[in-house]
DNA sequence: TAATGTGCTACTAATATCGAAGCATGCTAT
DNA sequence: ATAGCATGCTTCGATATTAGTAGCACATTA
């Protein structure tokens, strides 16, 4: 059975509760998903640019992740611009990945 | 070659830059990692309780994730208490805990 | 019309994860 | 002391996911 896109209200891998947080944790816990959101937070990218930015990850995975992110309305594709975050995703990435201070302190603590 | 724990300053899957953000994205993008942090944010848990909370995920994966999280100093294990977040990890998880409004709006937008 | 860019799909191989079983240690009650 | 019981795992074959390479279809540009 093919893995389906985790969305609020649906059963997701590891939880049958339908709670949005579980869908989000499942979605973001797939390989390359966080990285893609991160790379797109810098601005719109074409499929190939995105692939390059992701250190040459397979097109098959990139494409699967983009499909999931589009179903989850976190990414949209527009002909001229390429792939970009929805405003909703921008908010998420802002909350989630504005971690500069935290990252510095994490890195220091591990030296 | 076995997958190693992604840490700041090291080469991680998908990036040779050593940047802390890349280590974090790799670490958090592994299955169950986000979920474990989420479950532990409610308080310390024993290995088995954590496994139950994670809907019966395999002990092998849970154990691998816990090892990684301990190496990354995001989780500690104390004999009496079980597994728990470090203060650093708590700060990080704050980011998820403050997502309630975002999650509601995400869920609504997908109905 | 040939070259280039873009967004993919198809396929096989490698890796990661699942799922069940079970082991070792340290309690605790009998 | 010993028979449970909880905890923290380890092992292993089966299954699922991801990686990696090749190449197709369409559009634009030269």
Residue A15 contacts residue A22 (beta carbons within 8 Å): yes
- pLDDT of A3 reads 75
**How close does chain B come to A80, measured CA to CA in Å?**
25
Listed residue (A12, A25, A55) closest to B28, CA to CA: A25
What is d(CA B104, CA A60) in angstroms, rounded to the nearest whole number?
A: 31
Partners of residue A31 in chain B, C-beta under 8 Å? 29-30
CA gap A7, A24 in Å, rounded: 7
pLDDT at A38: 95
| CATH class label, B31-109 | mainly alpha
What's the CATH number for A20-109? 1.10.10.10
Q: Which residues of chain A have pLDDT under 50?
A: none
Distances (CA, A) of B21 to B15, B36, B102: 10, 19, 23
CB-CB under 8 Å, B20 with A104: yes
- Tell me which of B75 and A11 has the higher pLDDT: B75
Q: Nearest 5 degrees, angle CA B3-CA A56-CA A70?
A: 95
Which of B14, B30, B95 comes nearest A57 by C-beta? B14
Question: Which of chain A's residues 28-57 bind strand C, using a 7 Å CB cutoff?
Answer: 46-49
pLDDT at A79: 85
Binning pLDDT at 50, 70 and 90, where does residue B1 land? low
| Domain layout of chain A by residue ranges | 20-109
Query: Helices marked H in B12-58 — which ranges?
Result: 20-28, 33-40, 47-53
DSSP bridge partners of B77 = B83
**Size (chain B), residues:** 111
Mapped onto helix, strand or coil, the DSSP state of residue A64 is helix
């Amino acid at each position: 059975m093919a893995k389906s896109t985790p969305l609020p209200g649906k059963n997701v891998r590891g939880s049958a509760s339908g709670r949005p947080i579980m869908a989000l944790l499942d979605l973001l816990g797939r390989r390359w998903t966080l990285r893609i959101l991160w790379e797109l937070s810098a601005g719109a990218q074409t499929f190939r640019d995105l692939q390059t930015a992701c250190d040459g990850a397979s097109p098959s995975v990139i494409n699967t992740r983009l499909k999931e992110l589009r179903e989850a309305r976190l990414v949209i594709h527009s002909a001229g611009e390429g792939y970009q975050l929805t405003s909703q995703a921008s908010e998420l990435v802002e909350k989630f990945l504005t971690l500069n201070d935290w990252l510095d302190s994490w890195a220091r603590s591990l030296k």
